Amino acid sequence: MSTTTAAQAELEVQARQAVQKSEGYWAGVWKRVRRDKVTMVCAFVLLLMFLVILLAPWITPHDPYQGSMIRRLRPIGTDNHLLGTDELGRDMLTRLIHGGRLSWFMGITPVILAFLIGTTLGVMAGFMGGRVNMMIMRTTDVFYAFPSVLLAIAISGALGTGIMNAILALTVVFIPPIIRVAESVTTGVRNLDFVDAARASGASGFTIVRVHVLGNVLGPIFIYATSLISVCMILASGLSFLGLGTRPPEPEWGLMLNTLRTAIYVQPWVAVLPGACIFVTSLCFNLVSDGLRTAMDVKG
């Protein structure tokens, strides 16, 4: 009886130390991020953008769908229309804010889905090895044989216009690279001593993955996934730009850029505004991802 309690006490101490250690790790990450001015500014910009597009219906001055034939293509700085109006006389500021909702949704959802599916498959391939590994990794090779933009356009082109089709296409595009990263970090962890020790102590494969492997591989995979958001944002808006994602009159940055293309001879600076939004968002996601990578000390 007393040995059990002693062992339990020992385990508790270890657990507490583990918790303290992990708190120390995250505190260190936070300290490093806080010192990184570029990352902090970008994170702040993203947070601000997120809040603005979240509150879009309550803070925008006009209706995003209500146009006016007599107020078409007004320049930036017009009274009552701070950023001018588009080709159908709709308020640009309102549409840019509303448009952010779909652009963000289509830029982030595929990465989240691909992260979930890709991590599952990649960890399975890396941990189980053998035939499972071969099947998963050889299938991944096939998708690597397509340039990513081409694959996205091929799939959503075949499926036809639609937000869900575009998200599906982008998810398929981002699963293979996440599988590769997940597989390579898992293979690295699998051969470490503590995994052998866990196996020797009789832990099942599932427990080993859940307790010992995931904690060590999720960080690098997560960082890699955040670096994909920027690409995904550009691609998602690109699909809408080609007419493959959202349908008019839905406000979305890529689609707005497309419909305003004809206006570049009349109001060039109004026409390029949606693209500037995509650029700023994508740039900030890229820099935040770089900052996190440095702060979390992930190699590769």
Give residues in contact with other proteins (CB under 8 A). Answer: 141-143, 145-150, 153-155, 157-160, 230-231, 234, 237-238, 241-244, 254, 257, 261, 264-265, 268-269, 271-272, 274-276, 278-279, 282-283, 285-287, 290
Residue nearer to other proteins on the CB measure, 143 or 222 = 143
CB of 156 to other proteins, least distance (A): 9
Residue nearer to other proteins on the CB measure, 190 or 254 = 254
d(C-alpha 125, C-alpha 134), whole Å: 8
Residue nearer to other proteins on the CB measure, 123 or 231 = 231
Number of Cβ within 10 Å of residue 22's Cβ equals 11
CB of 263 to other proteins, least distance (A): 10
CA 285, 289, 290, 292 torsion-angle sign? positive
Check: CB of residue 46 under 8 Å from CB of residue 285.
yes
Residue nearer to other proteins on the CB measure, 25 or 44 = 44
CB of 159 to other proteins, least distance (A): 6
Question: Is 240 strand, coil or helix?
Answer: helix
d(C-alpha 250, C-alpha 64), whole Å: 9
Residue 171, Cβ density class (10 Å: 0-12 exposed, 13-18 middle, ≥19 buried): buried
Question: Is 264 strand, coil or helix?
Answer: helix
Residue nearer to other proteins on the CB measure, 168 or 218 = 168
CB of 243 to other proteins, least distance (A): 7
CB of 152 to other proteins, least distance (A): 10
Q: Give the amino acid at 55.
A: L
